[in-house]
Structure 1
Amino acid sequence: MTAETVFEGRILVTDRMTLGEGPGYDPKTDLIWWFDIVNCRLHFLNASNRDRRVIPLTEMASALAVVDDHRQVLSTETGLYFRDTSTGALTLHVAIEADDPTTRSNDGRVHPSGAFWVSTMGKQAEKEAGAIYHVLEGKVTKLFDRLTIPNAICFSPDGDIGYYVDTDNNRLMRVDLDPETGLPEGEPQLFIDTSGRPGGMDGAVCDGDGHIWNARYGAGLLDHYEPDGRLVGRFQLPALQPTCPAFIGRDGGWMMVTTAAQGTTPDKEPNAGFTFALVTGAKPRFDPPYRAVHGL
């Protein structure tokens, strides 16, 4: 029987995100980030001094990766943009679906090789309008298409396995990868089918032992899967629409979870859209920097 644990954690931020997504953390700077996608805002929280900043963006964005001491890269509705950490200035790195105004970026995570996997979807969740792309050193490769809401992009610790899901069908896929490049070495195979359960598989992260932690949107759960796909634990969250987890804190002892307030009201769901943190006991693992230049 799967163990279910009542939420014992804390609220990081009480701002109601319409669609909180893309959480991440840089242990070098102790900086936490996440997005409110539909409101075009990037949120930063310094874990050391609790300094908070909200950065308005000119278009929807959903994922961020560290590049180096001076740059980050954002996944937006028209492509990947470098962000200068001192000035906030954005410069285009590579275009992705820039000629399609009906789509936006959605999920994203950096492979151990430094490749950035990012996904797109229709702004109205149009059927099969989304795709997943691999970006390394500025080269864009489309990996999978005809997806509706591509989510749960994450990788095994040594980079030889990749995972993703289409939340529209709740079938988590597993694909063998080249650890050196993050490119597939075969066809995706069905790994976990949760189509008969309440809610939908949303964002995910792999821990240092290769376990998968998945936010179950609409069910208020953070699900814990063994590397063989067995569901072995569930954390009940105080909001029904969790979207994505990420390890935070220099020791990685906490896991943050973003949530969404879309389709809800404060009287019905007072915690919807809040950003949470909890202790799971998982072995932490942080995304590496995006490899923007050959040889780095």
Structure 2
Amino acid sequence: MSSSDFHCVLDARAQLGECPRWDERERVLYWVDILQPALHRFDPATGVDQVFALPEHIGCFSLREGGGFIAGLRSGVWTLDDSARPVTQLAANPEDVRTSRFNDGRCDAAGRFFAGTIDEPKAGGHAHLYRYADGRLESLSSGLLTSNGLAFSPDGQWLYHSDTPNFTIYRRAYDAATGQSGASEVWARIEPSAEDRGRPDGAAIDAEGYYWSAFYEGSRVVRFAPDGTVDAVYPVPVSCPTMCAFGGDDLRTLYITTARAGRSADELQRQPLAGGLFAMRTDVPGLAEPRWRESA
């Protein structure tokens, strides 16, 4: 499936790199560092990584039709300008912002924005997956620890998301015309061991409808078939890959963000590229990332 292994394209030293997004118009990769809150703009043609600092944690974002971004910050869902400056709060975080922030999210093909939260103490299962529509947040799933891995099948019939600490990926029937979804069902469950605590973090869907999941603390990306079985496994040279995205002019470069927060000094010595941005060529292309439309 791959023509090469993952290699580091940017030694970013991110604390918690996340949410890579390929902008096919600018031919650049946007991504975030949640804990050193900033939106990054990486140009693979020049190797330049431009950093836009933010005043609070940013978990996810989508490109906005017409310019700028929509983003899930700690305090809620915001619009950002072209330099990632917060402009308008569209919806407040309905949870306790002392222990909750927005985490993984993206738009569906119609330009609707979906974003989940993280229960930072991971004690009460207070996180949700939300859809932002008609000026408000609607909860689609509750009782989560870390809402993650949001993706949509190419035909728009399935919505996928994971609860990372519970080692589970869910799916639900999805109506792309209305944005409504059916009941959540377990699609894939990962069995951890004492030696392997790899668990499903951020994800991307390829043009064949296969789901690529970054396994946090698992040093790998796993490609799942549409029936939930494992199709292929790709090693990553650091412990904590966080999310993948297809990019490049042919959408056949798979980019991976990674993290170094919480890693021991010994591990960082053995993995000095932790927190870097990695890339690998793939045989199957991905899909262009939808942009947020205010009218969606």
Normalised by the length of structure 1, the TM-score is 0.91
The CA distance in 2 between the partners of 1:138 and 1:114, in whole Å, is 14
Aligned pairs, number: 290
The CA distance in 2 between the partners of 1:73 and 1:120, in whole Å, is 15
> Does the CA contact (< 8 Å) of 2:22 and 2:30 recur in 1?
yes
The CA distance in 1 between the partners of 2:143 and 2:220, in whole Å, is 27
Deviates more, 1:165-174 or 1:46-55: 46-55
Please name the residue that 2:185 is paired with: 189
> Does the CA contact (< 8 Å) of 1:222 and 1:234 recur in 2?
yes
Structure 2 unaligned spans of 5+: none
Please name the residue that 1:287 is paired with: 289
Please name the residue that 2:148 is paired with: 151
> Does the CA contact (< 8 Å) of 2:6 and 2:235 recur in 1?
no
Counterpart of 1:43 (choices 36, 40, 45) is 40
Offset of 1:80 from its aligned partner?
1.6
Structure 1 residues 218 and 6, CA, compared in 2 at 3 Å: closer, same or farther?
Answer: farther
Counterpart of 2:74 (choices 62, 73, 77) is 77
Deviates more, 1:136-145 or 1:30-39: 136-145
> Does the CA contact (< 8 Å) of 1:78 and 1:98 recur in 2?
no
Counterpart of 1:119 (choices 116, 119, 125) is 116
The CA distance in 1 between the partners of 2:118 and 2:6, in whole Å, is 32
The CA distance in 1 between the partners of 2:45 and 2:152, in whole Å, is 28
C-alpha RMSD over aligned residues? 2.0
Structure 1 unaligned spans of 5+: none
1:1-296 to structure 2, matched below 5 A, reads 8-85=5-82, 88=85, 90-97=87-94, 100-184=97-181, 186-196=182-192, 198=196, 199-264=198-263, 265=265, 266-293=268-295
Offset of 1:212 from its aligned partner?
0.4
Offset of 1:94 from its aligned partner?
2.3
The CA distance in 2 between the partners of 1:253 and 1:55, in whole Å, is 27
Percent identity over the alignment is 27
Structure 1 segments of 4+ aligned residues over 4 angstroms from their partners: none
Offset of 1:177 from its aligned partner?
0.9
> Does the CA contact (< 8 Å) of 1:6 and 1:236 recur in 2?
no
Structure 1 residues 172 and 53, CA, compared in 2 at 3 Å: closer, same or farther?
Answer: same
> Does the CA contact (< 8 Å) of 1:71 and 1:84 recur in 2?
yes
The CA distance in 2 between the partners of 1:137 and 1:250, in whole Å, is 34
Normalised by the length of structure 2, the TM-score is 0.91
